């Protein structure tokens, strides 16, 4: 059984993951608007990743005998000054999410909730990758010089991203 405190915190995290998904969908729309289709596609893969994150929390709360209670999702920004600014925003957002995950671990440990702690370790590892993938694109944009042929090549590279749903959420 999950405690009320952990249940509430995990419910908040479901909303935070859904917000992440919403933010990246908004970024995808921004990239569509400036005709960077590969960037837009990369962001839509990220949308799917965030939905998986939300669903992992959703399924875990239910499995532990808790109740999922959803609340309002804030509206994301709708435009950015440049592709670089959008990815810098994505990177800053991922760092914030890492902080949220670490806070959940800090909540589970004093409660001696080993199951929640074990569950959260997947997210601890995942956040390393989440931060790194946004940072990698930032560096590539800087190398490409934000315009011209370099950005065209990078757009093609980002178009090749493939989202593979993990088995436990593939049939949702
Ligand atoms: Fe759900 Fe991008 O972390």
53 lines ligand 1 (CB under 6 A): yes
Write the pLDDT tens digit of every residue in 50-68.
999 999 999 999 999 999 9
Q: Is the CB of 93 under 6 A from ligand 1?
A: no
Say if residue 25's pLDDT is above 80.
yes
Q: Stretch 27-44: mean pLDDT, rounded?
A: 98
Q: Is residue 18 part of a domain?
A: yes
Q: Please state the atom number of ligand 1 nearest to the C-alpha of residue 127.
A: 3
82 closest CA partner among 24, 31, 149, 133: 31
Query: Is 47 a domain residue?
Result: yes
Instruction: Check residue 112 and give left, alpha or beta (phi > 0: left; psi -120 to 50: alpha).
Output: left
User: In degrees rounded to 5, what are phi and psi of residue 22?
Assistant: -65, -40
How far, in Å, CA of 56 to CA of 61, rounded?
9
Q: In whole angstroms, how large is the CA radius of gyration of the chain?
A: 17
Domain presence at residue 109: yes
Q: How many A from CA of 54 to the centre of ligand 1?
A: 9
Q: Look up the pTM and report it.
A: 0.95
- Give the model confidence (pLDDT) of 90-133 as tens digits: 999 999 999 999 999 999 999 999 999 999 999 999 999 999 99
**100 closest CA partner among 4, 13, 11:** 13
172 has a pLDDT exceeding 70: no
CATH of the domain at 99: 1.20.1260.10
- Residue at 42 is within a domain: yes
Between the CA of 76 and the centroid of ligand 1 the distance, in Å, is 15
Of the candidates 93, 8, 2, 99, the one whose C-alpha atom is nearest the C-alpha of residue 43 is: 93
Residue 167 lies in a domain: no
Q: Determine whether the shortest distance from the Cβ of 20 to ligand 1 is under 6 A.
A: yes
**Residue 168, in any domain of the structure:** no
Question: How far does residue 2's CA lie from ligand 1's centre (Å)?
Answer: 23
How many A from CA of 148 to the centre of ligand 1? 31
User: What's the rounded Cα separation, in Å, for the pair 118 and 123?
Assistant: 10
Which residues, 6 or more positions from 154, have their beta carbon under 8 angstroms from its beta carbon? Answer: 38, 39, 140, 141, 144
More confident residue, 88 or 147: 88
Distance from the alpha carbon of residue 149 to the mean position of ligand 1, in angstroms: 31
62: in domain: yes
The predicted structure's pLDDT at residue 169? 72
* Total of domains in the chain: 1
Residue 123 within a domain: yes
Q: What pLDDT does residue 168 have?
A: 75
The encoded tokens of residue 30 equal 């921004």
Tell me, using a 6 A CB cutoff, whether residue 130 lines ligand 1: yes
Work out the average pLDDT over 153-158. 97
pLDDT above 90: residue 165? no
8 has pLDDT over 90: yes
Q: Which domain holds residue 45?
A: 4-71+80-161
* Torsion of Cα atoms, 6 then 12 then 31 then 85, to 10°: -80
């Amino acid at each position: 059984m999950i405690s009320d405190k952990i249940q509430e915190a995990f419910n908040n995290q479901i909303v935070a993951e859904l917000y992440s998904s919403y933010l990246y969908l908004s970024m995808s729309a921004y990239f569509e608007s400036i005709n960077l289709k590969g960037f837009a596609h990369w962001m839509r893969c990220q949308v799917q990743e965030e939905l998986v994150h939300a669903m992992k929390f959703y399924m875990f709360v239910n499995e532990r005998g808790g109740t999922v209670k959803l609340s309002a999702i804030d509206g994301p920004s709708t435009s950015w000054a440049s592709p670089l600014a959008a990815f810098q925003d994505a990177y800053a957002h991922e760092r914030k999410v890492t902080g949220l995950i670490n806070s959940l671990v800090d909540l589970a440990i004093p409660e001696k909730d080993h199951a929640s702690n074990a569950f959260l370790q997947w997210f601890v590892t995942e956040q390393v990758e989440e931060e790194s993938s946004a940072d990698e694109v930032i560096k590539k944009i800087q190398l490409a010089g934000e315009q011209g042929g370099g950005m065209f090549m990078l757009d093609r590279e980002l178009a090749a991203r493939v989202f593979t749903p993990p088995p436990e959420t593939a049939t949702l």
